[in-house]
Amino acid sequence: MALEALPPGPALHPLRQTLRFARDPCGFQEECLRRYGELFTLRLFAQPPAVYVGSPAGVKELLAQSPQDFRAGEGAAVLRFLLGARSLTCLDGAPHQRDRKLMMPPLHGERLLGYGAGMRDVTAQVVDGWLPGEPVSLVAETKRITLEVFLDCVFGMPAGPTRDRFRALLLAYLDLCMRPVALAIWSLLPGEALRRRLRQAAALSDRLPRWLPRGLPLELASVVRELDAAILDYIAEKRAQPDERDVISALIAARDENGDGLTDAELHDEMLTLLVGGHETTATSLAFTLQEIALHGEVHERIRDECKVVFGEGELDPARVKQLAYLEATVKEALRLHPIAPGFLRRVVRPLRFRGYELPAGVSVVASMQLVHRDPTVWSEPERFVPERFLTHRPEHYEYFPFGGGIRTCIGMAFGLFEMKIVLATILRRVRLELEQAPAVPQLHGVLWGPSNAMLARPRLA
């Protein structure tokens, strides 16, 4: 008997499915799980059909598949405009292995300790600007922190006009790219082709009278041209005067087995990748973690007590952050409940059988973080925020994967976790937070998830 090609799924038009997913990605997936079972198919605007996997057993089988059948880089084609076609996220096979090997050392091991003081000091400076009792937006403030950490640790960029210009360009780029209209535009065209056309459009717009309205496409075109030029200029500057303390200098110095390093074009795309992965996603995770801690005063008290044991009344020492076991468990629990993406994605390269279906080439398969991270067969009381579970339970890689899975696990995982612990410890030693809004829930922000509100909270002196 012939098997069906795709699992069942909503019969809604792709535009309506996209709107449902954007407004409530968690609820929409949970509804589909209840209605269709552990595998269901979503059809989103301008994207191939996506088969969502909502069980640990399904994720385990997905991770066991051959790279000849599933490819992650091809599945990330929609990200090529945002990150660049040479981004590690968008590569497969030998090019992916080569670039991953080159990028690994600056983001792991002892190198992390060299970034710790900068992460601590940036956070302290931001928190010092908070007025006790005056509301702050947790998501806005964590984005401030992670962007400055990116400029410090990844770019190694000193204070001054160049840094100010970079900050403005990066913020404008992310803001414009995450708008629904921009997302629709760059979902329809290959990344390199679209960036090329935008640069051409920017050149043409320079000839238009200044009083004519530019609109989002021309505004994005101008920002893309300026940002690309600024990144390439800074790479040239770093090649001439490297500094071993920052990530970009280490990547410039890295060499493969043939003695070749990353080209300027490759470095450009990897900088954009680290920007999105190390700034946007980390900030969102920090904001959701702070929200959970504000809702659970006993968790805050236990973190403060742990910090007193590890640091006493002295300054936070990055080398001792690894001793903060309960804080790490809190971070992991927040990442379980609040993933920052639908899941990790693979593109089917050739027809194959997967969990009772004959999947055709071209469809995507998504391991759902939202569904697997709340699977009651794995997690006791899965809807509750219980950091203690990570002190005694070590989940399998197919049960818990906030940074992706298998050989495609996020290369910045160690950097991100280290940064989150330093930022949280610095904040929580100084202030207590009281929420001013109903707790935020995830919504689709561009291709990532973000909070549904500003996460307003009042800081009180601890």
What's the pLDDT tens digit per position in 327-375? 999 999 999 999 888 889 999 999 989 999 999 999 999 999 999 999 9
Phi and psi at residue 289, in whole multiples of 5°?
A: -65, -45
Q: What is the pLDDT of residue 37?
A: 96
Round to whole Å and give the CA distance between 369 and 379.
Answer: 13
**221 lies in some domain:** no
| Model pLDDT, residue 188 | 57
pLDDT in tens, 122-141: 999 999 999 999 999 999 99
Report whether pLDDT(202) > 70. Answer: no
pLDDT at 23: 86
Please state, rounded to an integer, the average pLDDT across all residues of the chain: 89
Which pLDDT score, from 0 to 100, does residue 360 have? Answer: 94
Q: Which residues pair with 370 in a beta bridge?
A: none
> Shortest CA distance to 65 belongs to which of 377, 425, 380, 365?
365
pLDDT on residue 444: 81
Write the DSSP symbol of residue 90.
Answer: G
Q: Which of 150, 114, 317 is nearest to 234 (CA)?
A: 150
Buried residues in 403-430 as b, exposed as e (16+ CB within 10 A): bbbbebebbbebbbbbbbbbbbbbbbbe
Range of the domain at 135: 14-156+243-435
Pairing between β-strand 364-368 and β-strand 343-348 as defined by DSSP bridges? antiparallel
Question: What pLDDT was estimated at residue 183?
Answer: 63
> Strand 50-53 to strand 364-368: parallel, antiparallel, or no bridges (unpaired)?
parallel
Q: What is the average per-residue pLDDT within 49-58?
A: 97
Total domains in the fold of the chain: 1
pTM of the model: 0.92
Question: For residue 182, is pLDDT > 80?
Answer: no
> Looking at residue 212, what is its pLDDT?
42
CATH number of the domain bearing residue 396:
1.10.630.10
Report yes or no on 60 lying in a domain.
yes
Please indicate, yes or no, if residue 320 is contained in any of the structural domains: yes
In this structure, is residue 442 part of a structural domain? Answer: no
Q: What is the mean pLDDT of residues 261-267?
A: 95
Straight-line distance from the first to the last Cα atom of the chain, in angstroms, rounded to the nearest whole number: 67
| Residue 383 domain flag | yes
- Long-range contacts, 198-203 (Cβ 8 Å, 24+): 198/224, 198/225, 199/224, 199/225, 199/228
- Cα separation, 77 vs 346, in Å, equals 11
SS3 for 164-223, per residue?
A: HHHHHHHHHHHHHHCCHHHHHHHHHCCHHHHHHHHHHHHHHHCCCCCCCCCHHHHHHHHH
Question: Which amino acid, 112?
Answer: L
Q: Which residues contact 323 (CB under 8 A, 6 or more apart)?
A: 310
Identify the pLDDT of residue 4.
66
Calpha distance 64→436 (Å, rounded): 45
pLDDT one-digit tens code per residue, 373-402? 999 999 999 999 999 999 998 999 999 999
CA-based nearest residue to 165, from 175, 151, 177, 154: 151
Q: Is residue 44 scored above 60 in pLDDT?
A: yes
CA distances 24 to 3, 29, 342, 447, Å, are 32, 9, 11, 14
User: What residues contact residue 188 under an 8 Å CB cut-off, 6+ apart?
Assistant: 46
Write the pLDDT tens digit of every residue in 68-122.
888 888 878 777 878 888 899 989 999 999 999 999 999 988 889 999 999 999 9
Q: How confident is residue 213, by pLDDT bands cut at 50, 70 and 90?
A: very low
Q: Once rounded to an integer, what is the mean pLDDT over residues 429-444?
A: 93
228 assigned to some structural domain: no
Specify the higher pLDDT residue, 83 or 147: 147
Pick the closest to residue 39 from 15, 61, 70 (CA basis).
Answer: 61
Q: SS3 for 363? A: coil
Residue 443 belongs to some domain of the structure: no
Q: Is residue 178 part of a domain?
A: no
Lowest mean pLDDT of 12-21, 204-213, 329-338, name the range.
Answer: 204-213
Percent over 70 (pLDDT), the chain: 91
**Whether the predicted pLDDT of 194 surpasses 70:** no
- H/E run at residue 93: helix 93-103
The percentage of residues in the chain with a pLDDT greater than 90, rounded to a whole number, is 70
